[in-house]
Structure 1
């Protein structure tokens, strides 16, 4: 009520926005008498449905801004997400004020289109702006070679890392390498020239210490900057390109006392796990709309899932104890070096920094491949704006949809926390651009009605494989279940015979064991350096 009170006490144009917000929050259509109270007469009215309350202020502002320069008034209406399409269909057939357009995730587009609730957008208009969107966005709104929505905002997963830890590790490596190089140079000089009888010191050019060679002690600004540049470059090299790189890092990393895990993520949520096998599971082809293009059960996917399962031996993540919220909180507390996160992490980390709860720098990077041969791809979901096929104001609705998703996205993130599914938005934070880079090559969620339960079943399969179920057998059963739904008749997969090399499990030392070995190695080096 506080929001409504503030809006109603503002100027006339803000009063109109309050009316919009009030209608949205009530979930009811506004009466004609109310419309005429808050808006000028004679304008066409578009009813715009959505389900996420975080969008309310933003959509209200967009509606008012659009109405100032167009002979149309837009009324956003916040409704329940339960049986959303069913309610849209019911309102389209029975209500005096049905939705002319609405926001929906791309995986529901086939259902919407077949029900007559989604119209193909004007291809000429779309052609003018389609280059402003990544492939994942364009494929997300494509159904049977038709564009049936405007991409609005997206969600995907990327690698989140503690940059402070990596910089400290990089600096220690560089300093150790410099010390080793100076020691080798000094030994070589001594072998060639013999010891200095008078001073006993080795010349700087032969590896001896000078103020310039120890920038952190000398306070030389130029030398410090040179070291920082070396650290930045080394961090880029350290960032893992593969899961193998993470394992190698864990083997070398002498973790601070507060670090509990080098790599920890929510193994119970398919959104943070799909990338392991996402490059090799084909569900409906590139646009996710072709039941003839299915390939869930294959050798590459099995190999990826075997690696996934073997990671449990190393990281020992308990499915009964883990959650995304807990993982992110542990990351904020400095207990984790690497994790897998969605775009909401950026806002939460920035808030924690301002509140003094997060004392580190962080970064976003692409999810790592399995190894040099097995590649990975994240899953993505795109929320889009769709024109109701039952709308009598199709042209006006499409014009507003284009305005909202293409011309009014600069304030989308700061006002809603949603990342626009298009290029050219300046977020003032490079980490959000990294998410967009990941989204660009991600796998859009399929649209097919026959596979609507695939993600639930796949999540169950991943959890069972993590806990020890045979990856080959479990993936085969999943494929048979989904293919039976797709074909409408019992489907049997031909079992894939794996070679011994494929079946052989990789033996990983426990992460705690590796940390202990790294610590012992460090202690040994310190003892050797003592006189």
Structure 2
């Protein structure tokens, strides 16, 4: 799910906040129990594992069978609707004999789940959730008020995707221009159409040097390429989904603080600061170079444009790795490409991407917490190596997918990312921030917008404390 869809879903469930904050369970209403197999009979200990994404079925089914045989227990995966997911878990926990003992959950919903009694501090007897196995971003994502309340399984974040063939062409153009200008200054008679003799060996060496330094380290480097590259007809230097905060947040992510690294501390809010404003001014200036219509572009169309050779750079999530690999294998991709860390905003201003981690939570209503914890640890630990091949999801665990260079870049980006906050009182912050970015992109005053957002979030935080 892209963040825009996630944010819409979050906004829809904010009506449940009051009940959760007072520690009461969600109203059961007319929520139906998720479809699933009947309870097992027999002597084996049995747990039910809930999830909402059908792409996880093969992975979870295989893990359930293997773990069941290894431990002489039964694990029953239950695929249910994503709509009102926590409400359904609550209903089944209080009204059904098939209590969801553990379940997959996006980390930004963990505060809601914990306060509702649907998640509890993990036991982690084997010590799986440590910095030896996971980056700090993963551990921060599954932490709440100093406790780990889930096991990190997989993540989503963004990175820079570039057309390597075009960058080599740009390097050749720059190297040729440099040699031609040097030749003109020396007024050397030549045999070529420019009237200047070119040393082919020197041209090749200079081209390689420019190419090796072509992947941009800062936004200014991208702008330099935009200013100096005579792109083929129909090709744009850069385009990305400027309407989705997931692909924009890296611009301000290192300075706009909302809840700290764990995203759960209302005292750690810093929105209106000079660095954030400077970063947004850089973002505003980008529209002068790339002319992207925010109401006509979306992620799918951008990836398609890149795949068809109409872009030099774009910003994409982890799904692009498989999409580009499949296109190359089918012969539909006619160029070389690469994945890189997102550039710094400038030489003085750092960037930091946003991430979302999906974890395994253990239900405090479970009568089999110890077994549920063991299965959760098994999923994120021993099963991590097969996760990507079976689901296309990138495991949060360190040391996985080491033979896939593109995924390793995403994992590096993830390790330094800022997890989406989990505070319910700022649940609409991302929708507000998305609106701010849209207005900035279209030329609105940055300072005023940042000040207005900071005041609004401060009102929300203070209201929740009264």
Count of residues paired in the alignment: 429
Residue in 1 that maps onto 2:308: 333
Residue in 1 that maps onto 2:54: 53
Matched, 1:79 2:80: yes
Residue in 2 that maps onto 1:379: 354
Alpha-carbon distance in 1 for matches of 2:129, 2:260? 26
Residue in 2 that maps onto 1:89: 90
Equivalent residue in structure 2 for 1:252, among 217, 224, 228: 228
Matched, 1:285 2:260: yes
Contact preservation (8 Å) 1:67, 1:73: yes
1:100 is paired with a residue whose SS is strand
Residue in 1 that maps onto 2:101: 100
Contact preservation (8 Å) 2:167, 2:211: yes
Alpha-carbon distance in 2 for matches of 1:489, 1:439? 31
Bigger-Rg structure (1/2) = 1
Contact preservation (8 Å) 1:186, 1:208: no
Alpha-carbon distance in 1 for matches of 2:375, 2:343? 39
Contact preservation (8 Å) 2:50, 2:78: yes
Post-superposition CA distance 1:165-209 (Å, at most 9, x none)? 11232344456667888999997xx9xxxxxxxxx99xxxxx997
Contact preservation (8 Å) 2:51, 2:104: yes
Identify the range of structure 1 (146-155 vs 62-71) with the bigger mean alpha-carbon deviation.
62-71
Residue in 2 that maps onto 1:241: 217
Task: Give how far 1:234 is off.
Answer: 3.8
TM superposition score normalised by structure 1: 0.76
Matched, 1:132 2:107: no
Residue in 1 that maps onto 2:437: 462
Equivalent residue in structure 1 for 2:37, among 19, 27, 30: 30
1:320 is paired with a residue whose SS is coil
Residue in 2 that maps onto 1:349: 324
Contact preservation (8 Å) 1:157, 1:342: yes
Residue in 1 that maps onto 2:419: 444
Task: Give how far 1:257 is off.
Answer: 2.1
Matched, 1:308 2:283: yes
1:300 is paired with a residue whose SS is helix
Q: Using a 3 Å threshold, how does the CA distance of structure 1 residues 123 and 78 change in structure 2: closer, same or farther? A: closer
Equivalent residue in structure 2 for 1:413, among 388, 396, 403: 388
What are the residue-to-residue correspondences of 1:475-514 with 2, within 5 Å? Answer: 475-488=450-463
Residue in 2 that maps onto 1:153: 154
Alpha-carbon distance in 2 for matches of 1:360, 1:484? 51
Contact preservation (8 Å) 1:29, 1:77: yes
TM superposition score normalised by structure 2: 0.86
Task: Give how far 1:109 is off.
Answer: 0.8
Matched, 1:43 2:18: no
Q: Using a 3 Å threshold, how does the CA distance of structure 1 residues 366 and 486 change in structure 2: closer, same or farther? A: same
Residue in 2 that maps onto 1:224: none
Residue in 2 that maps onto 1:501: none
Contact preservation (8 Å) 2:124, 2:373: no
Identify the range of structure 1 (174-183 vs 374-383) with the bigger mean alpha-carbon deviation.
174-183
Alpha-carbon distance in 2 for matches of 1:276, 1:42? 56
Residue in 2 that maps onto 1:524: none
Task: Give how far 1:127 is off.
Answer: 6.0
Structure 2 unaligned residues grouped into runs of 5+: 1-32, 192-196
Contact preservation (8 Å) 1:106, 1:383: yes
Residue in 2 that maps onto 1:473: 448
Post-superposition CA distance 1:491-510 (Å, at most 9, x none)? 9xxxxxxxxxxxxxxxxxxx
Residue in 1 that maps onto 2:24: none
1:267 is paired with a residue whose SS is coil
Task: Give how far 1:438 is off.
Answer: 0.5
